[in-house]
Amino acid sequence: MSSTATTTITSVRAPITAENILQLFPEIDASLAQSSRQEPSESSELSGYDEEQVRLMDEVCIVLDENDNPIGSASKKICHLMKNIEQGLLHRAFSVFLFDSQNRLLLQQRASEKITFPDMWTNTCCSHPLGIPGETGATLEAATQGVRRAAVRKLDQELGIPAKQVPIDDFHFLTRIHYQAPSNGLWGEHEIDYILFIQADVDVLPNPNEVQATKYVTPQELKDMFEDPKLLFTPWFKLICRTMLFEWWENLSDLSSYTNEQEIRRM
């Protein structure tokens, strides 16, 4: 299986606290305001990338301490630079797993235009709640509602799935995973990732700037994909598949014993 290496979070560094992060990264807007104070993402790091993907790097992510408490907000660009990640900059994310009525999982292959992890296969939708009203939250309950709203927004933006086909209340929150992974030498991920399951038959009209292919798979078909050395997979998707996904999938008809996990899983 071709893959991108996943970094285990073992390096010695200062605790991820609000005080330490705000000292390291004065660019963070600690008010969680709707718009950030960062400079526009016109920089050498983004030179040569797709114009729309560069624009999206100005979106405002929710910066966290290691216990998922919001510290403030910073641009997607600031949050995904590996030099910042290595100093502990951490943000909130979500991963949607959408299953149809035949219990098949909808996968997407990320577009070549993507700045991080281009061309890789992954779960249905992976993105970030933004530091805007409705998508933030300091308590687990509020944060979970925020990521549900963000999931509806991104399923439409990436895959053209109408909001009416994925009602907010139909998303099951399972758990959170804290992981870190490089994309290349410049970019990477360091997230507390909310895992959301939903079962629905939906209309899919992918945005080609985000998604180059989609595919519904059974558990065995997904395992077969992992055996194909020509295919690349995102690191968070591989982590989830190797540890939890197939057990959850087997119990898709009754997830009650797996939902609303309180502890963060450190990967």
More confident call, 1 vs 248: 248
Q: Please identify which of the residues 59, 135, 191, 210 carries the catalytic annotation.
A: 191
φ, ψ (nearest 5 deg) of residue 66: -70, -5
* Burial of 24: CB neighbours in 10 Å, binned 0-12, 13-18, 19+: middle
**Integer Cα distance of 113 and 178 in angstroms:** 26
> Is 5 a residue whose pLDDT tops 60?
no
79 is catalytic: no
Cross-strand pairs, 123: none
- Cβ 46 vs Cβ 57: under 8 Å: yes
**Does residue 13 register a pLDDT over 80?**
no
The alpha carbon of residue 93 and the mean position of all alpha carbons in its chain are separated, in whole angstroms, by 4
Confidence of residue 22 (pLDDT cuts 50, 70, 90): confident
What pLDDT is recorded for position 34?
A: 35
Give pLDDT, residue 11. 56
Q: Exactly one of 59, 125, 126, 210 is catalytic; name it.
A: 126
Predicted confidence band at 40 (pLDDT cuts at 50, 70, 90)? very low
Residue 64 has a CB neighbour count (10 Å cut-off) of 24
Mean pLDDT of the chain: 89
Nearest to 173, CA basis, from 256, 101, 49, 240: 256
Cβ 63 vs Cβ 27: under 8 Å: no
CA proximity to 104, closest of 121, 126, 123, 120: 123
Asked if residue 91 lies in contact with residue 63, where contact means CB atoms within 8 angstroms, the answer is yes
Active site residue 261: no
Q: How many CA atoms lie within 13 A of 100 on its CB side?
A: 15
Q: Determine what percent of the chain is predicted with pLDDT higher than 70.
A: 90
Confidence at residue 2, expressed as pLDDT on a 0 to 100 scale: 46
List, for residues 217-259, the tens digit of each pLDDT value. Answer: 999 999 999 999 999 999 999 999 999 999 999 999 999 999 9
3-state helix, strand, coil in the chain (%, to 5): 30, 25, 45
pLDDT exceeds 70 at position 137? yes
pLDDT at 52 over 70: yes
Position 53 confidence tier, pLDDT thresholds 50, 70, 90: confident
Annotate 40-95 with three-state secondary structure.
Answer: CCCCHHHCCCCHHHHHHCCCEEEEECCCCCEEEEEEHHHHHEHHHHCCCCCEEEEE
β-bridge partners, 193: 93, 177
In 14-75, alpha helices (H): 18-24, 51-56
In this prediction, residue 10 has a pLDDT band, given cuts at 50, 70 and 90, of: low
Mean pLDDT for the stretch of residues 9-29:
77
Q: Which of 40-54, 85-99, 189-203, 242-256 has the lowest average pLDDT?
A: 40-54
Q: For 146, which DSSP code?
A: H
Structure-block tokens of residue 195: 């895992």
The average pLDDT across 198-206 equals 98
